[in-house]
Chain A
């Protein structure tokens, strides 16, 4: 089938870019293959695929469970796995117990659906290892995989997800007539595509960049994307979503945009302005009042005389410096 030959080319070493392009090109083929063949994970096909995918790097994830009477009520152990590209995964659950391990029953589930004949169980000393190895190559393999020892007695869960996208936690505040930039980024991952959606009531409406020059999207095909919105109006406020598309699924983030009119910060400003004018008026009036009292004719002459006397022994330098000189002279 053409999809398999394409896949062989994908796993050839040293062609990561080719891998990406070809995978993007053949994705529709894979999807078609999925919907056409419901028993895709049947044994012979899976083994063939594992052979073809042998050049993919192996990721091993381990959960340790102990049989401890004190921890009986403990919540199930969870491990989060972030996958961006198709990978060869090996999930191992190990149980360390003191009692007889031969009677322990191991089961695996994916999203609460039982998996049959897919895992190996080995025993080494006091520890029982259960190993489930599989290839993740599209979004159908993503989910929660759980291993159970003796039913619900001991449980470990692997949560396999696409990488999370980060936007801004707090609402973005802008003003009418201004322009703003909404940013979504993904650390340590490279999405294949970014798309932006705006909210229309309760549904998401994709943003058409070519309709008018109001929206401009920059920075696609890199680990961040920026949506620039110009000529903001109050109706432009609301929720925006950015979707990052990976080979193994989609990840989205939600950003809130708030558009204010300029009157909103103007009110506190006017309050402060009024306070300043009031205080200045009060202080200057107090000054004039104090001055009028002091410039009373009776007191005025007295001050003048004192000024006259004291102006005779003028020096021009302040008073504490002479003390310094005096002390120095005393020390001599």
Chain B
């Protein structure tokens, strides 16, 4: 493996090799998310071959999804400590092995282990490091880059679904799994594309900084220490962990984490229950399938256009607000859904929900990057996707139980709608509280030293910020760089 000490750029390039990274991440998203969705095409074949019912075979899909999200922190740990390239290539090999072994399966349990656990683990090692890499290469056009990269799941599903169907017809499910294993091996190609980049604030990878020491963000200690390579190896493990996962204690991140839990709870049942709901209100099979297709295609459109939109100068500073608006609008769509009882009404619902679903999916990494910074982005994304796992697993069965108990879909949809609205309200509330706190602190600072002109001179602002440090712990990370850009 090629170990590179320095690529030589100190700021995100916002282009150049960055677009190759976007292409790599796009392919990663196709090979992970789209392939996961296409696994459900195999279920009919598994049902007839192994003589099991739908719920037994559907476990494979749940296991893959759950493993991909649960092991996301593992993926970010490996890519942080080894290298992004190694991590993604390893993930590609694991996932491919899972598919190849699955093609020789003789029972459903074998498929749970190979196609479920092994492939899910492989996907987890690829997914969050690839997304984190995009964040490192872009800053100005970050949301557009994420939009293009994450649209892979929609476009991939669109293209792969008929291809997988064709493979099953030509080679039966065993041959199709083998060939899909080969396709998933392309993750290694994506891994090779992920050239490491060291940015000026990127201090946390000691293997890459052999020659000189750099100022380091302290782990809740006031005295920074000199991070020369030899000294670094002597530091305790807990300090390095604190370094990597220090963002977990940031109140901003905790709020984001809780809101992600509710948002993931709310968004997953729709893809499972839209078709049964449409059928129950009298829509035909073809029209219900068409609704799902609209959802998928508009999802892609939402990914890319919303990414482009929030990169515009007017919206760039309001990405957080755009994110919570997208989540809130999705929640509102859910609340309206029980009132939509015919196909002409469900089509605009599909379009709206699909668009904002694509929108907030694009903005999750952007918002996370805003809160924790590029250094810890990989680990933070690992944690954020990890928090998606349990709601994804738990939410469709709970919705199904509600449907069985109440006899209609209203209760399930209302619950999901309220979960998403609560998630966005929480974020909005936290942001408001933070703003009020900062206004209060600035007021206090102004009163304490009226002679100092604020925000005009870099050094003066620096000292004011220092005073603020003692009062507002979280402003340490955020207020200081603002001054330096004067």
Residues of A within 8 A of B (CB): 170, 172-175, 178, 180-181, 183, 260, 264-266, 268-269, 271-273, 276, 279-280, 283-284, 287-288, 291, 294, 299, 303-304, 306-308, 310-330, 332
List 29 interface pairs A-B (beta carbons < 8 Å), by A numbering: A265-B178, A266-B178, A268-B179, A269-B181, A273-B185, A276-B182, A279-B189, A280-B89, A280-B189, A284-B2, A287-B2, A287-B195, A299-B8, A303-B8, A307-B212, A314-B203, A314-B214, A314-B215, A315-B201, A315-B484, A317-B481, A318-B139, A318-B369, A319-B139, A320-B142, A321-B482, A322-B483, A332-B439, A332-B442
Known: A260-B172, A264-B171. 11 other contacts (CB 8 A): A181-B48, A272-B179, A287-B4, A294-B7, A299-B8, A308-B212, A315-B484, A316-B216, A316-B373, A322-B478, A329-B455
B211 at the interface (CB under 8 A from A): yes
B15 is an interface residue with CB less than 8 A from chain A: no
In angstroms, Cα B482 to Cα A315, docked, is: 9
Q: Does B48 contact A265, Cβ atoms closer than 8 Å?
A: no
Q: Which positions 183-219 of chain B face chain A at CB distance < 8 Å?
A: 183, 185-186, 188-189, 192-193, 195, 199-201, 203, 211-212, 214-217
**How distant is B340 from chain A, measured CB to nearest CB, in Å?**
33
User: For residue A258, which residue of chain B has the nearest CB?
Assistant: B172
Chain B residues with CB under 8 Å of A314's CB are 200-201, 203, 214-217
- Within the complex, which residue of A170, A311, A321, A330 is in contact with B215, where a contact is CB–CB below 8 Å? A311
In the complex, which residues of chain B have a beta carbon less than 8 angstroms from the beta carbon of A294? 7-8
Q: Is A269 within 8 A of B178, CB to CB? A: yes
Known A-B contacts A260-B175, A264-B175, A294-B8; the reply to A322 vs B374 at CB < 8 A is no
Q: Is B472 an interface residue (CB 8 A)?
A: no
What is the predominant secondary structure among interface residues of chain B facing chain A?
Answer: helix
B375 in contact (CB, < 8 A): yes
Query: Judging by beta carbons under 8 Å apart, are A311 and B212 in contact?
Result: yes
Q: Give the docked Cα–Cα distance between A159 and B146 (Å).
A: 63
A127 to B52, CA, bound (A): 57
A79 to B230, CA, bound (A): 92
B191 nearest CB neighbor, chain A only: A280
Name the residue on B nearest A280 (C-beta).
B192
The smallest beta-carbon distance between A183 and chain B, in angstroms, is 7
Q: B317 near A324 (CB under 8 angstroms)?
A: yes
Instruction: Evaluate contact between A178 and B2: CB separation under 8 angstroms.
Output: no
Q: Mark B145-184, 1 if CB is under 8 A from A, else 0.
A: 0000000000000000000000001111011101101110
**8 Å CB contact of B182 from A174, A181, A268:** A268
Closest A residue, CB atoms, query B483: A322
CA distance A279 to B212 in the complex (A): 35
B481 touches A174 (CB 8 A): no
A248 to chain B, nearest CB (A): 31
Q: Is the CB of A283 within 8 A of B185?
A: no
- The answer to whether the Cβ of B316 comes within 8 Å of any Cβ in the partner chain is yes
Shortest distance from the beta carbon of A307 to any chain B beta carbon, whole Å: 7
**Would you call B178 and A321 a contact (CB within 8 A)?**
no
* The one of A273, A276, A313 that contacts B484, using a Cβ cutoff of 8 Å: A313
Q: Give Cα distance in the complex from A123 to B443, angstroms.
A: 103
Task: Name which residue of chain B comes closest to A168, CB basis.
Answer: B48
Q: Are A311 and B481 in touch, CB under 8 angstroms?
A: no
Q: In chain A, what residue has the closest Cβ to B89?
A: A280
A92 to chain B, nearest CB (A): 34
Known: A265-B175, A308-B212. A317 touches B477 (CB 8 A): yes
- Determine whether the beta carbon of B172 is less than 8 Å from that of A173: yes
A178 touches B189 (CB 8 A): no
Is A170 within 8 A of B169, CB to CB? yes
Known A283-B189, A315-B201, A318-B373: A272·B183 in contact at CB below 8 Å: yes
Whether A312 contacts B182 in the complex (CB less than 8 A), given A283-B189, A325-B479, comes out as: no
Q: Which chain A residues border B481 with CB–CB below 8 Å?
A: 315-317, 319, 321-322, 325
- CB neighbours (8 Å) of A311 from chain B are 200, 212, 214-215
Chain B residues packing against A (C-beta within 8 Å): 2, 4, 6-8, 10-12, 48-49, 51, 89, 139-140, 142, 169-172, 174-176, 178-179, 181-183, 185-186, 188-189, 192-193, 195, 199-201, 203, 211-212, 214-217, 316-317, 369-370, 373-375, 435, 438-439, 442, 454-455, 477-485
A312–B200 CA distance with the chains assembled, in angstroms? 10
Residues of B within 8 A of A307 (CB): 6, 10, 200, 212
Cα of A315 to Cα of B215 in the assembled complex, Å: 8
Q: Is the CB of A315 within 8 A of B480?
A: yes
Q: What are the residues of chain B within 8 A of A319 when measuring CB–CB?
A: 11-12, 139, 481, 485
A276–B178 alpha-carbon span in the complex (Å): 15
Q: How far is the CA of A172 from the CA of B408 in the complex (A)?
A: 40
Which of chain A's residues have a CB closer than 8 A to the CB of B181?
A: 269
**B89 contacts across to A, CB distance below 8 A:** 280
In the complex, are the beta carbons of A304 and B212 less than 8 A apart? yes
Residues of A within 8 A of B478 (CB): 317, 321-322, 325
Query: What residues on A are CB-neighbors of B370 within 8 Å?
Result: 318, 320-321, 324
Option from A173, A271, A320 in Cβ contact (under 8 Å) with B316:
A320
Do A291 and B201 touch across chains, with their CB atoms under 8 A apart? Answer: no
A323 touches B485 (CB 8 A): yes
Q: Across the interface, which residues of B come within 8 angstroms of A288, CB to CB? A: 2
Cβ–Cβ contact B182 & A272, under 8 A: yes
Q: Is A283 a contact of B193 with CB atoms below 8 Å?
A: yes
* Set of chain B residues within 8 Å of A318, measured between Cβ atoms: 12, 139, 199, 201, 369-370, 373-374
Minimum distance in angstroms from A332 CB to a CB of chain B = 6
Known: A183-B48, A317-B373. A173 touches B185 (CB 8 A): no
Least CB distance from A291 to B in Å reads: 6
By a CB distance below 8 angstroms, the chain A residues around B11 are 319
Contact B200 A310 (CB under 8 A): yes
Minimum CB–CB distance from A166 to chain B (whole Å) comes to 14
Once the chains bind, are B482 and A322 in contact (CB under 8 Å)? Answer: yes
A265-B179, A272-B183, A276-B185 as given contacts; A316 in contact with B201, CB under 8 Å: yes
Which partner residue on chain B sits nearest A265 by CB separation?
Answer: B175
A280 touches B182 (CB 8 A): no
Taken together as a complex, chains A and B put the C-alpha atoms of A167 and B4 apart, in Å, by 60
Q: Contact at B10–A306, with CB atoms within 8 Å?
A: yes
Q: Name the residue on B nearest A330 (C-beta).
A: B455
With contact pairs A283-B189, A303-B6, A318-B369 given, residues A323 and B317 touching in the complex (Cβ less than 8 Å): yes
Q: What is the CB-to-nearest-CB distance from B187 to chain A, in angstroms, rounded to a whole number? A: 9
Q: How far is the CB of A153 from chain B (nearest CB, A)?
A: 41
Which residue from chain A places its CB closest to the CB of B455 in the assembled complex?
A: A329
Q: A178 — which chain B residues lie within 8 A by C-beta? A: 174
Q: Are B212 and A322 in contact (CB under 8 A)?
A: no
Contact (Cβ within 8 A) A322 B485: yes
> Contacting A260 at CB < 8 Å: which of B10, B171, B201?
B171
Cβ–Cβ contact A312 & B4, under 8 A: no
CA distance A319 to B201 in the complex (A): 9
B443's nearest neighbour on chain A, judged by CB, is A332
CA of A183 to CA of B185, assembled, Å: 35
Whether A279 pairs with B455 at a CB distance below 8 angstroms is no
| A266-B178, A316-B477 known; A326 vs B203 contact (CB < 8 Å) | no
Per the bound structure, the CA–CA distance linking A316 and B216 in Å amounts to 8
Residues in chain A near residue B479, CB distance under 8 A: 325
Docked Cα-Cα span, A322 to B455, in Å, equals 12
With A173-B172, A175-B172, A294-B7 as known contacts, state yes or no: A329 contacts B482, CB within 8 Å: yes
Complex-state Cα separation, A172 to B234, whole angstroms: 63
Residues of the B chain whose Cβ atoms lie less than 8 Å from the Cβ of A272 = 179, 182-183, 185-186
Residue from the list A276, A316, A317, A323 in contact with B186, Cβ < 8 A: A276
